[in-house]
Structure 1
Amino acid sequence: MTSSTDSEREPLLSRGDASQTPNGNRPLIELSTWDLCWVLGALWSAVFLGALDTTLVATLLTPIGSYFDKAHQSSYLGTSYLLSVCCFTPLYGRLSDILGRKGAMMLALTLFGIGNMLCALAPSMESLIVGRAIAGMGGGGVMTGKHYLSSIAVTDIVPLKQRGLYQGFANIIYGAGSGLGGPLGGLLYDRWGWRPAFLIQVPVIILSCFLVSLKVNVKIHDSQQTWAEKLARVDWFGSLSLVTAVGGFLLAVSLKSTEDLALGDPLVWGLLLASVIGAAFFVAIESHWAAEPIMPLWLLRRRTPLAVALANLGTSMLLFSSLYNVPLYFSAVMLQSAKEAGLHLLPNSVGMVMRSTGKYWWLTILSTASMVLSAGLLATWHGGNTPELHLWFDVVPGGLGGASAITSTLIALVSSVGREDIAVATGVSYLFRTTGQVLGVALTGALSQSHPSQFPPDQNPDIRHSISVIPTLDPPTRQAAVDSWASALRIVFICQTVVAILVLFCVLPIEEFELAYA
């Protein structure tokens, strides 16, 4: 455990004085204001890029699916990306020891850029899905920039009691990217199509690469180790078994719903069996064999870390389900353009600001209660009968509560463990978050496609494969199609409400510790 965390306590800049904290466990880095601004700017540019990409692509899922006449497969674009993120996020912790912080970030940004270029040039839906998967390989590291900001930089530079303030700044950057991505994606599509939405990210990637290469200079504590020794520390089998478990389950559910395969189909039950076997191997590997596991199960035997992990899983499912299904609602039910659908994600970014006061239990309860309220309001939407004010602002409590809950639960988690376990505890939190993101997109996408009886029989294939055909239908058929999509998405929003209530119950056992590292 010590070897994995020593390097995590290295300063992000090669400059700056490292003095010992009173307990001698962890260095406190003193940086000039100028150096601090540069290093945060380098890392936050990656955070902005990851947030921009997520909402930009979420807005375009439906138009892209309709373009290839495969709207029923559009959720695969989100699933393939997030599954890669889920797989590679824990690996970047070890890759940063092998390649250095700068090398790992540069690798992530390079893969992210290649993936986006492949998406922009994709000739088919299948190649586009592959491109998103490659982008996700880099996205795991891009969003890990936010992880290191939280688990290393801020913890080393400021007292834990002020961590919420700096996390709030990160959330502002993330919220700016999230808020800009939806309207920007819709605007680009309405004017030039969906391909420029991927190309426009390349200049931002180049800027991030420049800032990271210039300012993120890190000395790795155990640099005397050989590459072979460092590679041996990576939990390869744990990562592979996790992806098998999660990916097998999601692919089986998706194939059953989107491709109308029977549960008894060999491909479906074979994937489900592979998922069960993968999950069993993952538990065994993390419990007994992995020297430095990506998910230390001993941590989950504690009350607060377990509650936080489950809450992060459910919260991420909610946030990303809304992120992908709200634009779909405005495209398929309200028949709005991509730009108008993307604009409805903008109020959600209002909720990306949070500041810690040192007391986090009641804040966490109120935050999750806000998510319950928002999910319940979405479930009451009835197309044109819903007041315009509700369509714009019902998502705000969810964004506000989700951003606040993610931050307050992280503070609860790191305050419940020793300083030597902060890095590994934060890694577990992010693993549950990324898993929740994949589940939120894939399961709700499958759910919205799993009720073919709700669609008019003579129009069922066209409506599922291409939402753009709906406005061209004759009025009675068009209304039937709109009602069908509204009914399917209402089920999704009701399920989101159930998940939000479960998250509320999950956070109740969280203990409130004094922020002793202040």
Structure 2
Amino acid sequence: MFSLPFRGWKSASSSSTNAEPAPALRVSPTPTAAGSPIHATTAIHLQARVDSGFSTLRLLFVHIGAAMALFLATTDATIVSTSLPTIASELAASQSQYTWVGAAYMLTQTAFQPLYGKLSDLVGRKNILYGSMLIFSIGSLLCGAAQSIEGLVLARALAGIGGGGIVSSVWVLTSEIVEPRSRAKWSLALSVTWSCSAIAGPLLGGLFSSGASTTFNWRWAFYLNLPVCLVALVLIALSLRNIRFGRAKSASWHALAQHFDFVGLFLFMVGTGCLVVGFSFAMDVGWNSPSTLSFVIPGPLVLVMGGFYEVHTKRDALFPPSAFKDSTVVIILVITFLHNFAFNAGTFYLALYFQAVNGLTPLNAGIHMLPYSLGSSLASMPAAWLIGYFQKKTGDTSGQKWIITMGLLISTVGFGLLTLLGDVTSPALQISLPLIAGTGIGMLFHAPYQVFARALDPATLATGTSAFFLVRFTGATIGLAVAGLVYNETFMRGMPAAYQIQPSSIDWTTLHLIEPTSLRLEVLHAVAVAIKMIWVVCTPLLGFAFLISLFTKRFSIEKEGDCNPGEKQCTKSPGPVMGSEA
């Protein structure tokens, strides 16, 4: 069915009448998260040769397949937010295991992120993408077939490894086949896909967990990844047939072993993992337990050791040297961490609020989540327009700075107002309060990376971009773990003594059926107060981010290809790399 559109897609050299097959079109690497920056003029010439062999139709099919793969990988991070209460009830998950279903995916996605760029230089861009899609599909199949919560968590971790590779490879690969002047236009489709996944995740999770059918249940949220992933793979493979992506000349397995910062990555992930595991143990056995302390105490120490190592290592550090020396870079990384901390906590525990307190079905909970998820996606669009307007007017990043500041201010107010959500709250407040919080969160999807990229030396942009997304995914993972801990501790203290529960799990979806009515109201009040404490934790953190955002510096924005007098190398604005920052 794909043969007709692809028949005429050949490189310029293939127009000859010779019977010999046309040579494969070769794509040289351009500045991305996976490769080092090259001279801007050289990049333009390279891309001109690439575009001579890529018709608009061919680029369209590449981006359709890439958008499908990206949608699956990003949606999978939030699709369990509305289905998690149902999953936890069916698989008898403990309160600590509740958060692991989401955290396991994000933790492995984070851990393998820095490796993908280096590996793609060795085995090829397409091979990394195809391999990541295969791993993601296998993980999704195992998720759907899981018969225990432990099996589901392990399968989610496997899917996260593949999902991280998809997210990284899609942006790197598509940026290399599109010339620089057209990247913004083509990457817009991927940016919209990224934003739509925040909306679609809770809705799809709710749809598959509605309970309308015993066959069509939450497991199909994972099973349906397989045919969609297959279609995406076929589209990308056919679109990129006879295309060879150039590899870095210095790339080799020996060079990877000699220069890649394995120790830094190990310390960073061990420190993060210790915190997540420690918080999980704290839910089950308390803060004073040796098993809890053996993880919670070493976690921050290992992270500090990792930061010290990054500053002094002779290898290719995960974080560029300026990440620990430039105040603006440090501020942006802290803001990015706290932004994703709050956003992910809101995504998962607003869904729990609507199901547990309001007694809504998963699908209705997903619909009630729209003011938060849709509001955040829509808010990113006028924010991007305002950034472009101020950038043309001032020629610097002052527009980005004030968008960040205003976004954090609105987020702080919005999360503070979320504390008004209780067991008895009017529908108007249940719509307007998440909308305010989501609007502030959405304003922060574009601007932080733009300031971050301008604050870095162009030579460290690739490393810096990898570090930026490493911090971003880590913030989302830690945010979910901390939210689970806060919720569990508060709920167990406020739970009525008359409410007898199994120590292994609580069926959050049936709380509104508790009898007598007086006991039901007490339990629902305890749940509402526990969720409210999550907003109490997030609000001052966002407020702190707002205060430090006032101290970010402004950087000039140079037109792509412009050269500063006396410099041998042209500087250029960073092109899209991944995520909504594109």
What residue number does 1:269 align with?
293
2:229 aligned with 1:205, yes or no? yes
**Structure 1 residue 189, shift from structure 2 partner:** 1.3
Amino acid in the other structure paired with 1:367? G
1:394 aligned counterpart, secondary structure: helix
**Does the CA contact (< 8 Å) of 1:316 and 1:433 recur in 2?**
yes
State the alpha-carbon separation in 2 of the partners of residues 111 and 290 from structure 1: 33
Pairwise CA distance, 1:318: 1.1
How do 1:87-166 residues align onto structure 2 when only pairs under 5 Å count? Answer: 87-145=111-169, 148=172, 157-158=180-181
Residue of structure 2 equivalent to 1:185: 205
Distance verdict in 2 for CA 1:326–1:435, change over 3 Å: same
Separation in structure 2 between the aligned mates of residue 476 and residue 57 of structure 1, nearest angstrom: 31
Structure 2 partner of 1:230: 256
The answer on whether the counterparts of 2:103 and 2:480 sit within 8 Å (CA) in structure 1 is: yes
In 2, the alpha carbon distance for the partners of 1:224 and 1:508 equals 42
Residue 504 of structure 1 is matched in structure 2 by 546
> How far off its partner does 1:246 sit?
0.6
Shift, 1:457, TM fit: 2.3
Aligned counterparts of 1:213 and 1:116: Cα–Cα separation in 2: 21
State how far apart, in whole Å, the 1-side matches of 2:190 and 2:553 are. 25
Give the structure with the higher percent helix.
Answer: 1
Residue number among 304, 328, 331 corresponding to 1:307 in the alignment: 331
Answer yes or no: is the 8 Å Cα contact 1:106–1:212 preserved in 2: no
- 1:57 lines up with 2:97 in the alignment: no
- Over residues 291-310 of structure 1, what are the superposed CA-to-partner deviations in whole Å (9 max), with x where a residue is unaligned? 11222343331122111111
Name the residue aligned to 1:366.
406
The CA distance in 2 between the partners of 1:376 and 1:145, in whole Å, is 38
8 Å CA contact retained: 1:98, 1:231: no
Q: CA deviation at 1:437?
A: 0.4
Give the distance between the partners of 1:41 and 1:255, measured in 2 at CA: 43
* CA–CA distance in structure 1, aligned partners of residues 434 and 239 of structure 2: 37
Tell me, yes or no, if structure 1 residue 174 matches structure 2 residue 194.
yes
1:360 match: secondary structure: helix
Q: How does 1:446-485 map to 2 (within 5 A)?
A: 446-451=485-490, 452-459=492-499, 461-462=501-502, 465-474=506-515, 475-485=517-527
Structure (1 or 2) with the larger CA radius of gyration: 2
CA distance in 2, matches of 1:142, 1:426: 16
Tell me the residue number matched to 1:3.
Answer: none
Preserved contact between residue 376 and residue 494 of structure 1 (Cα < 8 Å)? yes
Alignment-derived partner of residue 254 in structure 1:
280
1:416 Cα deviation from its structure 2 partner: 2.1
| Cα offsets for 1:58-114 (capped at 9, x unmatched) | 111111111122251211111111111111112212122122221121222222111
Query: Which residue of structure 1 aligns with residue 104 of structure 2?
Result: 80
8 A contact 1:329–1:486 mirrored in 2: yes
Deviations 1:413-432 (CA, angstroms, capped at 9, x unpaired): 11222332222221121111
Residue among 40, 59, 81 paired with 2:63? 40
Identity of aligned residues (%): 21
CA distance in 1 between counterparts of 2:228 and 2:117 reads 24
Deviation at 1:225, TM superposition (A): 4.2
Name the CA shift for 1:224/1:502 in 2 (closer, same or farther; >3 Å). closer
- CA distance in structure 2 between the aligned counterparts of 1:224 and 1:299, rounded to whole angstroms: 25
Q: Which amino acid aligns with 1:57?
A: V
Q: Provide TM-score, normalisation by structure 2.
A: 0.79
- The TM-score normalised by the length of structure 1 is 0.88
Query: How many Å separate the matches in 2 of 1:37 and 1:511?
Result: 39
- Superposed displacement of residue 312, structure 1: 0.5
Against the structure 1 CA distance between its residues 26 and 425, is the aligned structure 2 distance closer, same or farther, given a 3 Å change threshold? Answer: farther
Question: Which residue of structure 2 lines up, in the alignment, with residue 321 of structure 1?
Answer: 345
| Contact 1:10 1:220 survives alignment (8 Å) | no
User: Residues 482 and 168 of structure 1: is their aligned pair in 2 closer, same or farther, counting only changes over 3 Å?
Assistant: farther
Consecutive aligned runs of 4 or more in structure 1 exceeding 4 Å deviation = 24-28, 152-156, 165-169
Q: Kindly tell me: are residues 329 and 71 of structure 1, through their superposed partners in 2, closer, same or farther at Cα, counting changes over 3 Å?
A: farther
Are the aligned partners of 2:116 and 2:128 in contact in 1 as well (CA < 8 Å)?
Answer: yes
Gap regions ≥5 residues in structure 2? 1-27, 392-398, 561-582
CA contact (8 A) 1:44 1:145 kept: no
State how far apart, in whole Å, the 1-side matches of 2:432 and 2:65 are. 33
Unaligned runs of 5+ in 1: 1-5, 13-18
State the shift of 1:45 in Å. 2.4
Letter in 1 for 2:330: L
Change (3 A) 1:230 1:169: same
Q: 8 Å contact 2:512–2:520 — kept in the other structure? A: yes
Within 2, Cα distance between the matches of 1:308 and 1:153? Answer: 27
SS at match of 1:55: coil
| Cα distance change on mapping 1:196 and 1:419 into 2, 3 Å | same
**Where does residue 426 of structure 2 map in the other structure?**
387
Deviations 1:359-398 (A, max 9, x none): 32222222222212321221111233x2213312432333
**Pair 1:102–1:491, CA change in 2 (3 A):** same
What is residue 419 of structure 1 aligned with on the other side? 458
TM-aligned CA distance change 1:366 to 1:145, over 3 Å: farther
- Distance in 2, Cα, partners of 1:255 & 1:127: 19
Deviations 1:183-211 (A, max 9, x none): 22212111332111111122222223223
Inter-CA distance 28–428: structure 2 relative to 1 (3 Å threshold): farther
Deviation at 1:149, TM superposition (A): 7.2
The DSSP-based 3-state class of the residue aligned with 1:406 is coil
Q: Deviations over 1:224-261 (max 9, x none)?
A: 6443333444322222211110111121112112x1x1
Aligned partners of 1:10, 1:50: CA distance in 2, in Å? 20
